[in-house]
Chains A and B, each alone.
Chain A
Amino acid sequence: MKKMKKLVFAFSAALLLSSCATVKSPLSGLWYTNVKAPVAVTGNSNSTKVGTSQATSILGIVATGDASIDAAAKSAGITKIHHVDEESTSILGFFAQYKVFVYGE
């Protein structure tokens, strides 16, 4: 029982001392966010390939991933970028995810 109390205390302390999981987004909701937005457009025409990359944050304590344009382009073998979009998701500040979509050929 004491162990359980300690665990609950540690978890609560971690929650209180850390900030919420937030994500870069043009609009954000307190409870739930799922927003797609533009990042960049180039002068290259046409897309035949799509690549994606992402980074994730849990409770604002741990955040990992590579959400770079380079990683997204590389994942699909894109050498000429047409445009780049982003998608931001967060749930109650517990979970946040940032995705980048690169279109090109």
Chain B
Amino acid sequence: MANNGIKGACKSTPLSFIAIITLSLILTSKSNAQNISKHYTSSLQDKGVLYFILPQSGFRNNEIKSELTYDITYLTANDTVTLNFSYFDKLNRDIDSIVFVGGNKIFSSRVKKIFIETKKGKWHYRYSSKFSFTDLNIFLNQADKPKIILYTQQGAMELNIKAKTWKKQSAVTKKILTLIKYNQ
């Protein structure tokens, strides 16, 4: 009986075999939608563990076609997280501060310039900001879709994210922050 089953499997065409493997790979990748291991790194240091959440994108201003990506670094010995961000815009800007608005909560930080350069015809602004670990947790747990406001010498710029993108992004970041809390 078992032999018949094996013979049957061997008789099936290679094409269907490949199709089954491809399908199983797709299903596996879908079921691991919350697989956070590829979204962060951790490194053991003298003063604790250094976590790095890889760059996340999705915040855009469709009117002026600008976009922002950010990454988060957190050393467990500290109370603050470092949020480095890249902002791409066609116009010259002088960024003063970054504000996260989520529901009725507002978190702001002054920014420190890392570098400014041009990339693909746009200005690439790279800045660093600091937020408290607690505030970041509160922000990620807001039900409403958040927005980022950049305050510059030339005025304020609002960057929005699609609800679906934010749902995925915040779920991954929340899971990483939970993992950090468990290891503290």
* Chain A positions near chain B (C-beta within 8 angstroms): 31-32, 34, 45-50, 52, 74-77, 85, 101, 103
Contact = CB atoms under 8 A, between A and B. Distances in A.
B153 interface: no
Interface of B: 25, 38, 41, 43, 45-47, 50, 52, 54-55, 71, 73, 75, 82, 84, 86, 114-115, 126, 128
B79 to A, nearest CB: 14
B50 A77 contact: no
Contacts of A76: 73, 84, 114, 128
Q: Which 3 A-B pairs have the closest CB atoms?
A: A50-B52, A77-B114, A50-B73
24 contacts: A31-B25, A34-B38, A45-B46, A46-B45, A47-B43, A47-B45, A47-B50, A48-B45, A48-B50, A48-B75, A49-B73, A49-B82, A50-B41, A50-B71, A52-B52, A75-B84, A75-B114, A76-B73, A76-B114, A77-B114, A77-B115, A77-B128, A85-B41, A103-B43
A68 to B, nearest CB: 14
A45 B25 CA distance: 42
Given A48-B75, A52-B71, A74 B50 contact: no
Contacts of A47: 43, 45, 50
Contacts of A45: 46
Nearest to A77: B114
Contacts of B46: 45-46
Contacts of B43: 47, 50, 103
A74 B84 contact: no
A43 to B, nearest CB: 15
Contacts of A85: 41
A85 B52 CA distance: 13
Contacts of B25: 31-32
A74 B38 contact: no
A78 to B, nearest CB: 10
B114 A74 contact: yes
Nearest to A48: B75
A101 B52 CA distance: 10
Contacts of B126: 74-75
B15 to A, nearest CB: 16
A73 B102 CA distance: 31
A34 B126 CA distance: 28
Contacts of A32: 25
A65 to B, nearest CB: 12
A47 B126 CA distance: 20
A34 B25 CA distance: 14
